[in-house]
Amino acid sequence: MRKRILILSASIGSGHVKAAEAVAIELRRLLPEAEITTVDFMAKRISLFHALLKGIYLVMLRFVPNIYDIFYHVAGNASGGGLVRSAFSYTMVPAFSRLLRRYKPDIVVCTHPFPEGAASLLHGKKPFFLAAVMTDYSLHQIWLSRHVDCYFMATEAMRQGMLGAGFPEEKLFADGIPIAAMPIDAKDKERVRRSLAIPVEQRVVLLMGGGLGIGGIEESLRALESIEERLTLLVVAGRNERLRERVLDFADSTHHHILVYGYTDRVRMLMSAADLLITKPGALTMSEAFALGLPMLLHDPIPGPETDNAIYASHHGAAVWLHPGESIAQAVEAILAEKLPSMQRAAKGCARPQAAREIASHLLSAYSAASASK
């Protein structure tokens, strides 16, 4: 009988969705006969309530990020985390129950804590194997449930933290954050630059604000005007059409060479062409940069998880974390002049390019072991 696998992501940013897609690709490679379905748990077609929550979250991030920071830290302690998790989980059970009836999965994989929380409430009452794939570089209480069959996390330190919290060792896998396979040879920078009509001899800086095109890109461009050396600046505006148009206007007056992209599937190629990435510290973006040995200048983290991500990357030497009041132009000049080689080595040291493949393999092994023990 063909196995049925349901992978639940959440379109709050693009990282959770990308992680789900990467795991799905590897599962299809290992189980070509399986029925594998990926669902955005926060989509309007799944639940109007979920879509409303997503809208509130995005508004909060844009206009009152300090309130989100407070919420994140309250939810991160043991008592607050359990309360927040329960509140969200119970309200989302109806939508998850509908998905169970529709897809009848043998395995449920969650790349966001909202669907994972709802699934954990029904685990044991319904016959499915539940796995959680964490998509940040730090532990958070809202993910933790004794009803999850196996956890996949970014680092060994996270695994040790869960062991310290009493989770069984056989449930925990520090395989990294899943990213898509790397079809581009990171060493062939010259070829990639020529394909993008980028001057081979120039320094190339990539600016990204995630799928939503946020993170102070316009301010960064204005600040980089003070750098005398002519740079090639690759700007990914995401779905922010207004930002894309403003950058195009800016390109007409700057002494730098600017190429502008909207929401694009060429990010991996743009990373391969770049010497430095300026971005918010989203975990998937960081993981892709690690895999390509691409140094980062991190700024404007979303309070909470992205702050923890910035701490991780800067602590390991793969990134410089630019704090409010510090000069972005001076930071870029210092990195390009002195720090690139050591930061490239550090980024490679953090890389887990095979994470998606390892997660898929360990997931199927854990499922087989659990099935055999019944």
Structure tokens at 84: 């927040």
Rounded CA gap, 48 and 92, in Å?
A: 11
| Rounded CA separation 134/154 (Å) | 7
pLDDT of 239: 80
Q: How confident is the model over 46-74, as a mean pLDDT?
A: 68
Tokens linked to 55: 């809208």
Q: How confident is the model at residue 230 (pLDDT cuts 50, 70, 90)?
A: very high
Name residue, tokens 């301010």: 219
Residue 209: burial class (beta carbons within 10 Å; 0-12, 13-18, 19+): buried
Say whether 293 sits in a helix, a strand or coil. coil
| 303: Cβ contacts below 8 Å, ≥ 6 apart | 65, 66, 68, 69, 72
Q: Is the pLDDT score of 54 beyond 90?
A: no
For the cut 60, the answer to whether the pLDDT of residue 50 exceeds it is yes
The amino acid sitting at 257 is: H
User: Is residue 211 over pLDDT 60?
Assistant: no
Mean pLDDT calculated for residue range 53-58: 77
Give the residue extent of every domain in the chain.
4-178+354-373, 189-350
Within the chain, residue ranges assigned H as helices are: 15-30, 48-63, 65-76, 78-103, 113-122, 156-164, 189-195, 217-224, 241-251, 267-273, 283-291, 305-315, 328-334, 340-350, 355-373
Share of the chain above pLDDT 90, in %: 67
- The first and second tokens of residue 23, run together, are 């795991």
Task: Determine the CATH number of domain 4-178+354-373.
Answer: 3.40.50.2000
Q: What is the mean pLDDT of the chain?
A: 89
Same CATH topology for 4-178+354-373 and 189-350: the answer is yes
More reliable by pLDDT, 353 or 75: 353
Q: What is the DSSP letter of 374?
A: -
Spell out the residues 6+ positions from residue 127 whose beta carbon is closer than 8 angstroms to its own.
106
In three-state secondary structure terms, 286 is helix
Q: Give yes or no for residue 87 having a pLDDT over 90.
A: no
Q: What digits encode the pLDDT tens for the residues 314-339?
A: 999 999 999 988 999 999 999 999 99
Which has the minimum average pLDDT: 154-158, 164-168, 240-244, 315-319?
240-244
Q: 189-350: which CATH topology? A: Rossmann fold (3.40.50)
Angle at 14 between CA 264 and CA 19, to 5 degrees: 105
Distance, CA of 298 to CA of 36 (rounded, Å) = 35
CB 142, CB 81: distance < 8 Å: yes
The confidence band for 349, taking pLDDT boundaries of 50, 70 and 90, is very high
Bigger pLDDT: 190 vs 211:
190
What pLDDT is stored for residue 300 in this prediction? 84
Question: What is the C-alpha to C-alpha distance for residues 147 and 57, in angstroms, rounded to an integer?
Answer: 27
Judged against a pLDDT cut of 60, whether residue 225 lies above it is answered with yes
Segment 252-278, tens digit of pLDDT: 999 999 999 988 888 899 999 999 999
From 14-28, 39-53, 58-72, 93-107, the region with the lowest mean pLDDT? 58-72
